[in-house]
Structure 1
Amino acid sequence: MAGVSGALPGVARAGAVDGLRRPLFIAAIIAATLVVFAEVGLSFFVINASVIPPGAGVAQELGVPAGVQAVNAASGQDPPGSGIASLALIDGLLLFTVGMLGLSLILPLRIYGRIQGLVTLIVTFLWIIMCFLLVIAALVKLFLMIGLFVAAPFGTAVYVAIWGAFPTGTAAAVLGAVLFLKIVFGVLLVLAQPRFLRVTGLVVLVLLSVVLQLVLGFIHGFLPGVVVAIGDQFWAIVTGMVALVWALIMLIGSIPGIINAIRASGSATD
């Protein structure tokens, strides 16, 4: 599968189709989809200007501008913070990769070989832009949080009012559910076709997703409660950068597939 294959060379030829147990493979795709939905939450798809973060009442009493309060609107959403939602940048790429494998089961190999490179190029290009913009926005928010935190006493009071009470319990519950779904996904994928374990890129991407999540959970549990939000925001930036680099690798890897498709089309025309 040269198109997804900057990271996953030869997936389609590695026995992904031959001997594939399709019901289990479809179940694995469903599990991967649920992972992404759980990470972004339904609030990701709803633009609601009236969302007020926890502690906003205290912030209003301190005279915090509405614009500053709006920066933390996501903290009142489910999942809390930015770290969990940022995991969707990695797991979205994983879902796309597995989805492209599923597409190879539906389309004739000749057609699939011609479009998968172009599809991967477009998706990863847009993914890179999205990751870049989200990382910049996350950096701005992190600088704001740190700036307020060190600006004692009033800035610190504002920070504590807005971000001081991070819902670690809710975050732990979401991360636990997501980790369970990832385990289910991995088991189903291996049961569907054990040869997937030979695809280094796919295995690395899955492990990378799990490691990023485990570190995020460690940050939530290790840091003092008042600075958990800062650690969460920092790890969201790290996760976004990792997703950006991986998408860039996939984009570069899609180019040979496009060139081969053009050559094949030219040969057919001749």
Structure 2
Amino acid sequence: MDTLRRPFFLGAALCSLLVVLIELGQSFLLAGGQARPGFGVRSLALIDGVLLYNVVLMGLALVLPERVQGRVQGLVTLLLSLLLLLGVIVLGLTAFVTLTVMLGLLLSFFGFPVYLGLFGHFDRSGAATTLALLMTLKLAFVILLVLAQQRFLQNRSLILLILTSVVSGLLLGWLHALVPGLLVSVTDAIGAIVVAILAFVWGVLLLIGGAVATVKSIRLRV
């Protein structure tokens, strides 16, 4: 029960990688060669990127000595958390400004035709297909991870991160289906803002963990 089954772990890592690539809009993974519209799907990469990083760390533990990994992990985590927080701020502010513009156009009599021309053609079916594919890959990731090592279920932070990822995808799909097609761009931006807030929380936690690990590593060297 304590042995890590590497083929299953590698399969889980591959699923996690595919999830992030799809969310970033890699054309070679998406039918038609086009990225999905809106901010929602892309915002999921902020959270799933953190999950992928955790999987990479677990994989490095298989090939690197514990002392080497401990020295490198803190600094890398610190740098990546700063990049994550920067990405959260940029995407969150962009989605918020876009949402403000859309609401302003909707509330204006002469702005409604402009809204229809700019934001009224959200590809809801394409986004739904992408979200369904993502959820399938996430389910496969969880199954393969459990098959690789049941003790992963005892890692509370990992479980919470997986739940955050799954709930974010479900929330985004629900927001897309909640309103008529003309208004999906609005709810998509709202979903992106919510996901950005969740990613910000995880970014802060990573930043704290990376800072603590870096300080400990420096003290050990001294």
Task: Report the TM-score when normalising by structure 1.
Answer: 0.77
**Cα pair 2:36 2:123 within 8 Å, conserved:** no
> How do residues 149-164 of structure 1 correspond to structure 2 at under 5 angstroms?
149-152=106-109, 154-164=110-120
**Cα pair 2:46 2:196 within 8 Å, conserved:** yes
Query: CA offset at residue 77 of structure 1?
Result: 4.6
* Aligned mates of 1:251, 1:137 — CA distance in 2: 23
**Cα pair 2:85 2:203 within 8 Å, conserved:** yes
> Which residue in the other structure is 2:85 paired with?
128
Query: CA offset at residue 216 of structure 1?
Result: 0.8
Count of aligned pairs: 217
> Which residue in the other structure is 1:227 paired with?
183
Letter in 2 for 1:103: L
Unaligned runs of 5+ in 2: 28-32
| Greater share of residues in helix | 2
Secondary structure (helix, strand or coil) at the match of 2:35 reads coil
Letter in 1 for 2:96: L
Equivalent position to 1:251, from 207, 214, 217: 207
Equivalent position to 1:177, from 128, 133, 142: 133
**Cα pair 1:87 1:239 within 8 Å, conserved:** yes
* Aligned mates of 1:134, 1:124 — CA distance in 2: 15
Runs (4+) of structure 1 moved beyond 2 Å? none
* Aligned mates of 2:43, 2:201 — CA distance in 1: 14
Unaligned runs of 5+ in 1: 1-14, 44-75
> Percent identity, aligned pairs only?
44
Letter in 2 for 1:216: L
Q: Is 1:23 matched up with 2:22?
A: no
**Cα pair 1:40 1:79 within 8 Å, conserved:** no
Query: CA offset at residue 257 of structure 1?
Result: 1.6
Query: Between Structure 1 and Structure 2, whose CA radius of gyration is higher?
Result: 1
Equivalent position to 1:239, from 180, 195, 198: 195
Equivalent position to 2:168, from 203, 212, 216: 212
Query: CA offset at residue 254 of structure 1?
Result: 2.0
* Aligned mates of 2:71, 2:209 — CA distance in 1: 15
* Aligned mates of 2:220, 2:5 — CA distance in 1: 31
Secondary structure (helix, strand or coil) at the match of 1:166 reads coil
> How do residues 39-78 of structure 1 correspond to structure 2 at under 5 angstroms?
39-42=23-26, 77-78=34-35
> How do residues 47-126 of structure 1 correspond to structure 2 at under 5 angstroms?
77-126=34-83
After superposition, give the CA deviation of every residue in 1:98-148 in whole Å (9 maximum; x if it has no partner): 111111112111111111111101111111111111111111111111111
Letter in 2 for 1:29: A
